[in-house]
Amino acid sequence: MAEIVQTVLIITGISGSLALVLTLANLYIANYGECKIVINNDKELVVDGGSSLLSTLNEQELFLPSACGGKGTCGLCTCKILEGGGPVLPTETPFFTKDELADNMRLSCQVKVKQDMKLSIPEDLLNARKYEAVVEFIKDETKTIKLLRFKITDGQEVDFKAGQYVQLLAPPYPGNPESVYRAYSVASSAKEKNAIELIIGYVEEGLVTTYVHQHLSEGDEVSFNGPFGDFYLRDSDAEIILVAIGTGIAPIRSILYQMKDEQIQRKATFFFGARTQKDLVCAEEMYAFEKSIPNFHFRPVLSREPDDSGWEGDRGRVTDSIQTYIEEGIDQEAYMCGSPVMIESAVIELKKKKIPEERIFYDEFG
Ligand SMILES: Cc1cc2nc3c(=O)[nH]c(=O)nc-3n(C[C@H](O)[C@H](O)[C@H](O)COP(=O)(O)OP(=O)(O)OC[C@H]3O[C@@H](n4cnc5c(N)ncnc54)[C@H](O)[C@@H]3O)c2cc1C
Ligand code: FES
């Protein structure tokens, strides 16, 4: 027994010393100096080496999408590193197919800038900007979901497609020593160029939602960047199926504003899942859209509404609504937003209704 304890202590001591040596080497020896980053054979940046490519680009006001704040878990911060990226790390491989890896796709938050690099980044991502804004209002939609409106104060106009998202910055606050970004879908009309609205749910111990729900007040200054994402209404004649739960209503609300603004005639149904009537975020607005969008129907579905509440609408989950109301053999497209679990089961139901996978679009939150 004593021998085992001694061996464990020796191994722990050796690994601890190695980690210390590596940290010190990183701090004092591995000075990568100035590095040149060339983007799309055009834009040239001279940066200090040593940080992740994602944060290095951020410092240069070039914003790649990121929903996990650089933790290597969301897989959104991809770009092609044509030269200077070093070997692919085990933290990156789960996010790419063999072909993508062969095509030099990398996770920019996992790659450290250590030498000159050549990158390929889609032009529309290079158009993402940083915006300064002030909180115009904060409205409690439910106990745990807030609707916020940010008025842009730096003179810029924001140009986004309904359905896209921005990254909101939470500055350091008591209990969170570092600035962090998280993704939030724009919930307002893309016609508005000087303000955006977001719908943000509280996540226990979540860094950015704690900032929004417990530290942010009307009149405060905020900063966000974007827009990002390829979740937006495709131009076609197909019937539109919209599906969301909870805060997943955010990009759908923006798409509904687009349908209202453009008076889109396509038949559309929005299946919105909530627990009880009290959890139906923006319900009044959704019913009002039935009057202002030509062929739109709002179908809320409640999973935990008390039997004796007088609720005469649908009960169950959004997947039950898909089973009940979606007809087979019709030209249809689906747009969905919510938790990965909901999306996974809704995709299964939509495929049962013979809607091809390439006509099912979604953003997963979480
Ligand atoms: C494209 C995109 C758009 C998004 N749009 C919205 C939006 O419009 N409104 C919105 O409220 N959120 C949205 N999200 C989710 C958002 O980006 C954050 O993940 C979420 O707000 C939690 O951030 P946090 O910093 O508070 O929590 P973190 O500090 O990141 O997480 C704390 C802990 O909570 C867990 N966790 C994270 N998210 C959830 C969750 N949703 N439910 C339960 N546990 C969770 C984490 O795994 C972690 O353990 C979107 C995400 C993506 C990828
Ligand atoms: S920022 Fe999320 S994986 Fe890189």
- pLDDT tens for 320-349 read 999 999 999 899 999 999 999 999 999 999
Ligand 2 neighbourhood includes 79 CB (under 6 angstroms): no
Which residue among 63, 182, 253, 282 has the greatest number of ligand 1 atoms within 8 angstroms of its CB, and so is best to mutate? 182
pLDDT at 102 over 60: yes
Query: Contact at 8 Å (CB) between 315 and 305?
Result: yes
Average pLDDT over residues 285-310: 97
Ligand 2 and 66: CB distance under 6 A:
yes
Report the nearest atom of ligand 2 relative to the CA of 69: 1
What residues form DSSP beta bridges with 165?
185, 228
What is the structure's pLDDT at 149?
A: 98
More confident of the two residues 27 and 85:
85
CA–CA dist 278, 306 (Å, integer): 11
- The C-alpha torsion from 175 through 179 and 182 to 187, rounded to 10°, is 100
- pLDDT (average), residues 185-213: 97
pLDDT tier at 68, thresholds 50, 70, 90: confident
What is the distance between the alpha carbons of residues 77 and 74, in angstroms, rounded to a whole number?
Answer: 8
Residue whose CA lies nearest to ligand 1 atom number 6: 184
Model confidence at 237: pLDDT above 90? yes
User: What digits encode the pLDDT tens for the residues 159-189?
Assistant: 999 999 999 999 999 989 988 889 999 999 9
pLDDT tens, position by position, 123-146: 888 889 999 999 999 999 999 999
Residue 15's pLDDT is what?
55
Confidence band, pLDDT 50/70/90 cuts, at residue 241: very high
- In the chain, the amino acid numbered 36 is K
The pLDDT value given to residue 126: 87
Indicate the average pLDDT of the chain.
Answer: 92
Crossing angle of helices 340-352 and 318-325, rounded to 10°: 10
Q: Which domains does the chain have, with CATH numbers?
A: 34-124 (3.10.20.30), 128-228 (2.40.30.10), 239-364 (3.40.50.80)
Q: Is the pLDDT of residue 29 over 60?
A: no
Q: Which residue ranges have their beta carbon within 6 Å of ligand 1?
A: 67, 165, 182-185, 199-201, 203, 205-209, 229, 247, 250, 363, 365-366
| Mean pLDDT along residues 153-161 | 96
Q: Closest residue (by CA) to atom 3 of ligand 2?
A: 72
Q: Is the CB of 256 under 6 A from ligand 2?
A: no
Give residue 88 CA to ligand 2 midpoint distance, Å: 15
